[in-house]
Copies of this chain bind each other. A is one copy, B any other.
C-alpha cells in the first residue's frame, strides 16, 4: 500500500512505470489533444503497459487529473516564485495572476481542472498562499484579504474557462483557424437586429479578432483597481 518510487530500468516484457512518468505522459496527452484524449487506455499504450497498472499509482481518473494538474501547477509556482518583487503589492499580484493565466493559455485544459480538491493539490494551496501574502502588505481586514484573493483567482478562472472549451472540431482539424471561427461568430452577430441588440453591435468589432490575454488583463485591472481603492493606497 505504500507509494512507488523510480526504478532504474524495467524488464523486457513487463513495463515499469513511476509516478513521475505516469504524470508526465498524462500531461503530454492533455497538451496534445485536450482533456478527452486522456483515457486510461491511451495512457497505458503510451507507457507501454497495461491499463490496470495505472491504478496502482492513482485510485481513479479524478485523482489522475488532480495529480496531473498539480504537477504542472508546480511548474507555474516555480515561475511565480522567480518573479521579481516590487514595492507595490498590487503590481506583484498582477504579475502573478498574469503568469498563471499565461500558463493556462498555453495549456487550456488547466482552466477546467485548476483549483479543485485543494487537499490533494498541494501546489494550488501554495499558490493561494503566494497570492495572499501580497495582500498582507495592504491595509485590509482579514475578510477583505480573503475576498481579494478569491476575487483574483475568480477572475483568472472565469477568463480561463473560455479557453478550456474544446474548439468545435473544424478549427481542431485545421480547416478553419481560430480567428476565422471568431470572425464567423462576429458575422452572425452583425446580422442581428440593431434595434434589439445595440450593445452587441457596438462591440462586435472589438470581439472580432480580440485577444484573450487583453481581455483577461482588462478584467484583472478592474479588480485590482477596486482593490487599490479599498486599500486606500
Chain A: residues with CB nearer than 8 A to chain B?
116, 118-119, 125, 128-129, 131-133, 135-136, 142-151, 153-159, 161, 165, 185, 188, 196-200, 202-203, 205-207, 210, 214-215, 218-219, 221-227, 229-230
Taking a contact as CB atoms closer than 8 A, the residue among B129, B154, B159, B199 that contacts A219 in the complex is: B154
Contact A157 B146 (CB under 8 A): no
A224-B225 contact given A129-B200, A142-B206, A206-B142, CB 8 Å threshold? no
- Which of A129, A131, A207, A215 is most buried by chain B, counting CB atoms within 10 A of its CB? A129
Chain B: minimal CB distance from A146 (Å): 4
Minimum Cβ distance to chain B for residue A80 (Å) = 14
Q: Which residues in B have their C-beta under 8 angstroms from that of A128?
A: 199-200
Q: Which residues of chain B are within 8 angstroms of A223 by Cβ–Cβ distance?
A: 151, 155, 219, 222-223, 226
A142 touches B205 (CB 8 A): yes
Q: Closest CB-CB distance, A220 to chain B, in whole Å?
A: 8
> Which chain B positions have C-beta within 8 A of A135?
199
CA distance A147 to B215 in the complex (A): 6
From B118, B143, B153, B200, A125 is in contact (CB under 8 Å) with B200
A202 to B143, CA, bound (A): 9
* Closest Cβ neighbor of A212 among chain B residues: B150
Closest residue on chain B to residue A184 by CB atoms = B119
What's the minimum C-beta distance from A58 to chain B, rounded to whole angstroms? 16
Known contacts A202-B136, A222-B230, A210 near B146 by CB under 8 Å: yes
- What is the distance, in angstroms, from A115's C-beta to the closest C-beta of chain B? 8
Q: Are A151 and B206 in contact (CB under 8 A)?
A: no
Q: Which residue on chain B has the smallest CB distance to residue A220? A: B151
Contact A199 B150 (CB under 8 A): no
> Closest 10 CB pairs between A and B?
A158-B158, A132-B199, A154-B158, A222-B226, A151-B219, A225-B226, A147-B218, A146-B203, A146-B206, A226-B226
Q: Please, how many angstroms separate the alpha-carbon atoms of A135 and B203 in the complex?
A: 11
The answer to whether A148 and B222 have CB atoms under 8 Å apart is yes
Closest B residue to A160 using CB positions: B158
Whether A203 pairs with B151 at a CB distance below 8 angstroms is no
Contacts of A206 in B (CB 8 A): 142-143, 145-146
Whether A203 pairs with B165 at a CB distance below 8 angstroms is: no
